Each structure stands twice: as C-alpha cells, then as structure tokens.
Structure 1
C-alpha cells in the first residue's frame, strides 16, 4: 500500500460546527488526502478565553465528523499571538509528517498568501521600523502592524491583513517557509458567516462566536441547524453533567482573588504583563463586578480586548515570562495524542520512523516544562467544577488513553 497522504488543520472547535465540517470536506477534495489531522488547542484558546467544553469532548466532536487524528496544541502555543500560535502548530504538523495544510480564509486564494509572505520577507526591516513608530504613537500591536502594512502596501496589490483568518493564514504560510517544512499550504474560502458575526441566521453555517453567544443566553435549540447532531448532543450532555459551559464569568472570582492578593512585583513577572499593566489590572479589578466590566475598564487604544484576555489567562494560570520563554525556546518536547479513528491509527503506525519527538498517549508519560505547565492549566480549567468532578477529571487527564472512534 502507498503511504497515506495527510492534510493538517489547526483548530479550536469551540464548538465544532457546520463551517468546520465544510472545511474538512473541502480540504479532502482539494488535496486528495487519505487522512485529516487536527492539531487542537487545549483548555484555553488563542483569543485568551476558556474553551466552552473540555478538549476530550471537542475531540469527540471532531472524530465523529471526519477528523482521523486529534493531537494537542499545548497552552504554550494555544494562548499566543498569531505568529507564535502558528509556529507551534506547524512544528507539530511537520513532525507528524503531513503533506498538506489547509486553513479557512476570507481570501480563498493560496497564491495571494505565498505572494504576501515573499513580499513581507523582502520588506522586513522597513516593516519592523514602521511597527515601532506606530507603537510609540500609542497604537496597539495589531493596529500598528496593520498601519505599517498599509503604508508598505501602497504600491503593491497584496492580500489585506485586516481579517483574522487572513492574518492566521499568513502566519501559517510564513511558519512553513521559516521552518523549511515539506508541507504544501492550501486554503478554503470561508462561507456565509463572518468570524465575528454575533447572531445566528437561517443559514446552516454560523460563526462560533454567534453559537457561543446563543448558548450563553441558554437558547441551545437555536443552534441545532448550524452544528452537526453529535456536537449538539455532546454540548447538551456536558451542560447536564457539569452544570456549566465554561466562560470567563466562571473564573472571575478566582482571577479577582489572585490579582488582589498578589503584590505588583509578583504580577510583573507573569507573561504578557508589560509596561506597568500590573498596576492597571490591580486598580481596575477592585471595582469591577464582572469579567466583562473589568475588561471594559482595562481596555485602551494601546491594548486590544484579545491582548488583555490573554494577559488575564496568564494571570489566572500563574504563567511566568521565564516559563514561557523556556518552554517555547525549542521544539515541542512531546506531542500528545487525544483521539483517532482506525484510519488515523494506521497513519500513526506507518509514520513511526519519521517522528523525532515522542508521541505520547497519556500525560503521565510526559515530563519537562511543557508538561508541568499543561498539568497546572488543566487544574485551573477544571476549577469551576464540583470537587469530586474536578478530581475525577484530573485523574483522567493523567491516565486517559486517546479516544478511539471506529
């Protein structure tokens, strides 16, 4: 039998919806791949928020809807700006031996991404200079990069870097180029729902943002036509079992206690706590009645909501700059397998020789800083559950083998 061809997708599945199903089918068609591999964020996500259900439930959603293999994108990458997020995801997919990468974009044209990576590489020093200039004017980092890009781009027709999926797509293609990974990038045009669309319409495809908002309004019936039936059932079961779909509100009291009881000198050493933010977070949390209110009080022209949410995540999880620097200085120390189909298992067995990083099936088999951080993050994520549920879930985290869907 010829070697199986694999396409990789970087995902959060928060939760898995019809748009994701569409992407999987398009990725298979576009690449003629035999296997679809998802590298999935764990408990906290790129925009600095908790996943609404555990990684195990999201893994089940994926495996029941066309994904053959789910591996973990660890916290050290999953809660980072686009560049670091993409770098970690591509390193893992390259190690697994995927032939293709597929990502959703507002462009749908892979040549535009290749052209942009080449253009930005030739303009790097001028771009960096412009970003610094805009940041000195008090703009946020994303706004500064956007302004710098627009200024560079006056004479050149390239892809707009204003849409979130175009930004991520650019960084995926750049990471493949930087790492000299033997991966061919492909992109699927996003259909119907915009990334931040706040409401669900009659269309069968809705944004994850609108699905989460509808769920937070306790209106789960409204999402039935925009998610596969397995997603709907798994969300319903999780809510019934744990009385929760995780949001920042479930962690706010813990975060408030953490910030108020920690001296500013200790807050300062935590990851992404820069430029005197330790004073601002401490001052503003004293009067805030909710997470959302605190964020409104914190937000400035310089700091975006997403940037501040990521800071909140690192404050909550007590993740230091030193830890993050050490953990991301080298390649991932292991890859954790969360679930597979028979097809995925065959791929894993056939590509053993290719891998240089250990592929682990249980956290108990991992060690080093990456594992230490992941264990702590999982403990924090589970903290809103009842005590006996927390203990049972943490035990599972150590010893649970990958989910097998046949």
Structure 2
C-alpha cells in the first residue's frame, strides 16, 4: 500500500482539513493518509481546544487512516524543530510522500527555494544568527536573510517562495528537513483554500482557519456560530466535549494554575525552564503578581523582542515543567505513538511491520522512554487545566488506540 503523510494539529478539524486529507491522497495517488498530530499542547504555545483523543476521532471520521502523536518536545518547538521531528516520524512510518498546504501552492517554487538556500547556506545562516543576536524575532530574521539571497537581479518576479507567510515557512522547513534526512519521500503541496491563517470567519464560505474558528467560539460562546466551518462529525464531537466539560481548552481557562506555578517557583526556578532566558523570568513573576487574567498577563510581558507565540511557548513549558535538562534528553523522536487507526490503517501497519523504522507504541505502559513518560505527565496536566475538580488522569496509560 502507498501512503501519504501529513502534519496536523486539528485545533479543531475543519472543512479545510477535510479537503487537505482527500486532496493529498488524490494528488499523490495514495491508498491511505497518515497524520502526525500534535498532542495536547500546540506549536503556537497553547493548550489544544480539545484533547488529542477527541481530535484523533475527528481525523479518523474524516479521511485519515493512521494518527501518530508528535511528541511534546517537538510539538511545542519553533518551526524548524517542529518540522524536523514530524518528517522523521512520517519517514519512519514508511510514507511514500508527504503533502502540506501552502500559500504558494507550487512544489516547484519550494524546490527552487531549497536549492537557492543550499547554494548560499553559510551566508544565509550567518544573516539569521546576526539578526537574532540584535533582537530581531526569528521569523523576521529568517525573512530578511532569505530576501537578501533571492532578490531577482533582472527585476522580474521571483520564482522563489514567499517566506513571510506562515504555511510557506512551515512547508519550506518540511522540505529542508526531508533533504537533511535524505528521505526518499516525495514532497507535494496544495494551495491553502479560503481564509488566511489569521483571518476571522466569514458567513459567506464554509472554509475558515482554525484560528478564526476558535476566536469565533470564544467571542460568542456558541458552537452554532462555527457549525458551517466543520464537518458534521466534528461538530458533534465538539458538542459532546462541551456537554461533558463545560468549555474548551484555552489559556484563560488554564491561567489560574499557570499563575500559581509562576508564583510558587519564582524567578530562580523559572530560569531553568526551556526557552526562558535573558531575565524574562523576572518579568513573568512580576506580571503574575499583577494580572488577574491571561490577556492582562500577556499585555504586561509582550514586547518587540519576543513574539506572542514565543512567549506562549515559554509559558507552556512553565505549565508542564519542561526544563532545559528534559529537552536535552528528548531531542529526537524514539517511537511512533499510535493514537488511532481505521481498518485500512491497521492493514497498513501489518503489511509494513518489518519496515517501520521506529517502535509502534499503542500503550505507554508497554514502552519506556523519557519522551513517552513526559507525554503521560503532560496529558494529566492538560486534564487538570480543563477540569481542576474532576480531571480524567492516567489516560495515556489507560486509553488504547482509537479504532474507527
């Protein structure tokens, strides 16, 4: 069987994701779709709307055949590290190709871009390093360095990818990672449909960004306002979640516990947390003393030096207790954590059993690693944030892979 791999968060699964899974399968002429999905905390440094098990169900009900978890250390990293681990997992799962959505929509321009940067790699890396040292944010530094080596000399439109756009950036890092890994997977891309990454929802379309969908719900507190943007099965999963838990995951909901941890640990302990540096721990401590809400907290700590996303990643690590020491022992994925499968996905695993490059883990109780153990801890902390009074703890040890 021929498999195409995709990298996802599904926060939540929406109509654009439905198109992506089906179109990726069709474009690459694959028999099934394998998704590597972030767990309960995401790349932008925030808790997922609903947990990984619920999002796995959404995926399996809407065209995905296998779901593997992207480990916490990778899922909450910057774009290069996020992409590198995701590609490693798709390659380990023996995918024949991988497909990502992009604003550009042409794989040729990505290939041209990768070749151009490879040619000027030293200059490119030096420019990024120099900008970051001057206090420029990583995305801005990346874009400035990139622009310096891709300006068309003849004034004609550039044949390279616009790396100021979020999906193009991530797509480039997927291809960069696959090249470094010397993966045999064939890259493919699809044009992003409808709304932009940060756009609000529009009543005139059924395609909306996950960011827009989340914003619409938290503004209106009404799932009917997002119904047209998600498949029916997803909508019912979201409704069931709300009936059981009363609200979706968000930093506002998690903030009381985050605030407690910041005030309890103090600057000295906070400085040991991954990504926390340059004295920002002191600002966090000061802000936690003042701010009654997450938005108020962020208004105090936000600055030109640190993007909103970068600060949120630090806060995610504070919430989960993810230190520099822990990161050092979780650099590369060491297993394929199976979250769910369709009958076709199960048949694929049986067929590829001898070829898969990493252990396929269906229950954490049967596998020992620092990454797997931390995943279980993170799931419990997520459950506590969602429902501090009656949390569902131990799910990572008790929950078998979801079978459609």
- Does the 8 A contact of 1:334 with 1:357 survive in 2? yes
- State the shift of 1:325 in Å: 1.6
Indicate whether 1:249 and 2:252 are aligned. yes
Which residue among 223, 226, 240 is the counterpart of 1:223? Answer: 226
Gaps of 5+ in 1: none
The residue aligned with 2:115 is 118
Give the TM-score normalised by structure 1. 0.95
Q: For the residues of structure 2 that align with 1:40 and 1:190, how far apart are their CA atoms? A: 19
Pairs within 5 Å for 1:25-44: 25-44=22-41
- State the shift of 1:131 in Å: 1.8
Indicate whether 1:107 and 2:104 are aligned. yes
The SS at the match of 1:352 is: coil
The SS at the match of 2:150 is: helix
The residue aligned with 2:14 is 17
- Does the 8 A contact of 1:141 with 1:302 survive in 2? no
- Structure 1 residues 364, 389: closer, same or farther in 2, change over 3 A? farther
The residue aligned with 2:400 is 401
Pairs within 5 Å for 1:123-142: 123-142=120-139
- Does the 8 A contact of 1:106 with 1:189 survive in 2? yes
Q: Deviations over 1:174-224 (max 9, x none)?
A: 111000111001001011111111233320101111111122121211211
The SS at the match of 1:70 is: strand
Pairs within 5 Å for 1:144-159: 144-155=141-152, 157=158, 158-159=160-161
- State the shift of 1:388 in Å: 7.1
Q: Deviations over 1:236-294 (max 9, x none)?
A: 00010011211001111111111112132211111000111111211222212211221
Indicate whether 1:162 and 2:164 are aligned. yes
Question: Which range is displaced more, 199-208 or 95-104?
Answer: 199-208
The residue aligned with 1:171 is 173
The SS at the match of 2:303 is: coil
Runs of 4+ in structure 1 over 4 Å off: 385-389
- State the shift of 1:387 in Å: 5.9
The residue aligned with 2:287 is 284
Indicate whether 1:295 and 2:317 are aligned. no
- Does the 8 A contact of 1:8 with 1:98 survive in 2? yes
The residue aligned with 1:184 is 186
Q: Deviations over 1:353-388 (max 9, x none)?
A: 112321011121221210121121111101134467
The residue aligned with 1:338 is 339
- Does the 8 A contact of 1:258 with 1:316 survive in 2? yes
Gaps of 5+ in 2: none
The residue aligned with 2:206 is 204
Q: For the residues of structure 1 that align with 2:390 and 2:257, how far apart are their CA atoms? A: 18
- State the shift of 1:319 in Å: 0.5
Q: Deviations over 1:88-128 (max 9, x none)?
A: 10111111100010100000000111111111122121112
Q: For the residues of structure 2 that align with 1:297 and 1:140, how far apart are their CA atoms? A: 18
- State the shift of 1:346 in Å: 0.5
Q: For the residues of structure 2 that align with 1:355 and 1:71, how far apart are their CA atoms? A: 13
The SS at the match of 1:139 is: coil
Q: Deviations over 1:304-357 (max 9, x none)?
A: 0000010110011110011112111xx422111111111000100000011232
Count of aligned pairs between the two proteins:
398
Give the TM-score normalised by structure 2. 0.96
Q: For the residues of structure 2 that align with 1:57 and 1:202, how far apart are their CA atoms? A: 28
Q: For the residues of structure 2 that align with 1:183 and 1:194, how far apart are their CA atoms? A: 28
Which residue among 311, 315, 340 is the counterpart of 1:312? Answer: 315
- Does the 8 A contact of 1:6 with 1:33 survive in 2? yes
Q: For the residues of structure 1 that align with 2:76 and 2:2, how far apart are their CA atoms? A: 30
Pairs within 5 Å for 1:250-265: 250-265=253-268
Q: For the residues of structure 2 that align with 1:308 and 1:126, how far apart are their CA atoms? A: 28
- Does the 8 A contact of 2:364 with 2:373 survive in 1? no
Q: Deviations over 1:39-75 (max 9, x none)?
A: 1000000000111001111011000111011111110
Which residue among 81, 85, 90 is the counterpart of 2:82? Answer: 85
Question: Which range is displaced more, 193-202 or 95-104?
Answer: 193-202
The SS at the match of 1:48 is: coil
Q: For the residues of structure 1 that align with 2:372 and 2:231, how far apart are their CA atoms? A: 33
The residue aligned with 2:53 is 56
